[in-house]
Amino acid sequence: MKQQKECSKRALIEAALIAGIVSVFVLVGAFVPFLSAFLVLLPVPFIFLGVRYRIRYSFLSIVLASLLQGILLGPVYAVFMLILLLPITVAMGIYIKKDKEPVVVVAIGTMASAVSTIFVLQMIGGVDITTNLTEVMKEVLIHQQQMLLSMNLSAIEIETDKMISYFVMMIPAILIIQAMVFAFANYYLCLTCLKRFGIKKKPIYEFSNFKLPKNIVFGSFIIFVLSFLTRYVEGLYHEALIMNVVVIFVFVFFMQGIALINYYMKKAKLNKTARIFLTLVIILIAPIMTLTSFIGVLDSIFSLRK
C-alpha cells in the first residue's frame, strides 16, 4: 500500500513536471517560428507518462498544461492544446500499453490526430483550411511562373487554376497523410524513450520491419471500387473522393516500399548514413516514389522479406 502511494505521488510529480516543461516549450514555439515545427512531437511525453504509470496521469498532465497555456497565451491556446493532444495521447497510450502491433498503434493515432486536427482548425480557431491552403498554393505557383518567365521559358505554361483545383481536392488526403506521419514519429520516439528508461523490455520494431496488414491490398481494392461507384450517387463529388483514396493508398504502400528497401539495405550491411541518404533520395524524387509504392504493393502480396 505504501509503495503504491509512493508510485502515485511520483506519477503526480512527473505529470506536473511534464506539464510545466511542455508549457514552456509551447510558449517558446509561439514566439520562435522555426521551433513550432517540433510541436508535432508534443504527445510523446504525455504518452510516455501514460504507459509508464496510467493513462489518467497523462490526462491530468495535459489538462494542467492546457490551463498553463490558458494563463500564458490565452484560452484559445488552452482549448487548442487540449483537443489536439488528448485524443492521440489516450489512444496511442492505451494501445502501446497493450503491446499492440506498430501498424495498429499508428493507425489509431492517425485517426485520432486527423479528427482532432480538423476539429481544431475548423471549429476552435475558425480557420478555413481550404481558403488558406489555396492562397498558399496560388502564391507558390505564381512565384514559379515569374521565375520561369525571368528565365525566358515562355513555352512552359503552368495552368494555375487547374493545379489549385487539384490541390484543393486533395486536402483531405494531405491532412490524413500528415496525421499518419505525426503518429508514426510520435510512436517510434515514444518507444525509444520507454526503452531507454527500461520500461519496455521488448525490442523496438525498426522501420525496416514495418509491414501493413496482410489483407491491405484486397481492402484497398474494395475501397477503390466503392469510391468509383459513388459516381452513380447524386450529390457526391466522386472525382475528389477517388483522388483522395488513391493518394492515401499510394502513400501507405510507399511506406511499405521504403521499409522493404531499408530492410535490404540493412541486410546488405550499408551503414546508417548511407541508408538515410538513399531513403531521402527516394522520398524526394517523384518517379522513384511511384516505383517504391509499387514495390510496397508487391511486398504486401508476396511477402518479399521472407
Using DSSP's 3-state secondary structure scheme, residue 107 falls into: helix
Please tell me the predicted confidence (pLDDT) of residue 123.
Answer: 66
Please tell me the predicted confidence (pLDDT) of residue 215.
Answer: 83
Considering the domain architecture, whether residues 55 and 8 belong to the same structural domain is answered as yes
Considering the domain architecture, whether residues 65 and 137 belong to the same structural domain is answered as no
Please tell me the predicted confidence (pLDDT) of residue 167.
Answer: 66
Please tell me the predicted confidence (pLDDT) of residue 160.
Answer: 56
- At 118-166, the pLDDT tens digits run 887 776 544 555 555 555 555 655 555 555 555 544 444 445 556 666 6
Domain count, the chain: 3
Count other Cβ atoms within 10 Å, centred on residue 210: 19
Q: Please, where are the H alpha helices in the chain? A: 2-31, 43-52, 55-72, 75-97, 102-119, 129-150, 160-169, 171-196, 216-229, 238-267, 272-284, 286-302
Asked if the model's pLDDT at residue 303 lies above 70, the reply is yes
What would the grid cell of residue 51 be?
504507459
Please tell me the predicted confidence (pLDDT) of residue 264.
Answer: 92
Considering the domain architecture, whether residues 156 and 294 belong to the same structural domain is answered as no
Considering the domain architecture, whether residues 25 and 62 belong to the same structural domain is answered as yes
Q: Between helices 160-169 and 171-196, what is the axis angle to 10°?
A: 50
Confidence of residue 7 (pLDDT cuts 50, 70, 90): confident
Please tell me the predicted confidence (pLDDT) of residue 153.
Answer: 45
- Alpha-carbon torsion, ordered 39, 44, 50, 51, to 10 deg: 170
Considering the domain architecture, whether residues 40 and 139 belong to the same structural domain is answered as no
Considering the domain architecture, whether residues 83 and 14 belong to the same structural domain is answered as yes
Q: Which structural domain range is residue 185 located in?
A: 1-125+173-205
Contact, 251 vs 212, CB < 8 A? no
Considering the domain architecture, whether residues 187 and 237 belong to the same structural domain is answered as no
Say what the pTM is.
Answer: 0.80
Please tell me the predicted confidence (pLDDT) of residue 200.
Answer: 65
Contacts of 243 (CB under 8 A, 6+ apart): 166, 169, 170, 173
Considering the domain architecture, whether residues 25 and 71 belong to the same structural domain is answered as yes
Percentage of the chain with pLDDT > 90? 21
Residue tagged 520494431 (cell numbers): 205
Q: Which of 14-18, 51-55, 199-203, 275-279 has the lowest mean pLDDT?
A: 199-203
Of 186, 205, 224, the position where a domain reaches its end is 205
Considering the domain architecture, whether residues 57 and 180 belong to the same structural domain is answered as yes
Please tell me the predicted confidence (pLDDT) of residue 155.
Answer: 41
Count other Cβ atoms within 10 Å, centred on residue 175: 19
- At 47-90, the pLDDT tens digits run 999 998 889 999 999 999 999 988 888 887 888 888 889 999 99
Considering the domain architecture, whether residues 135 and 186 belong to the same structural domain is answered as no
Considering the domain architecture, whether residues 187 and 88 belong to the same structural domain is answered as yes
Please tell me the predicted confidence (pLDDT) of residue 224.
Answer: 79
As a whole number of angstroms, the distance between CA 84 and CA 41 comes to 12
Considering the domain architecture, whether residues 49 and 182 belong to the same structural domain is answered as yes
- At 15-58, the pLDDT tens digits run 999 999 888 888 887 777 766 777 788 899 999 999 988 899 99
Please tell me the predicted confidence (pLDDT) of residue 206.
Answer: 73
What would the grid cell of residue 203 be?
525490442
Please tell me the predicted confidence (pLDDT) of residue 120.
Answer: 76
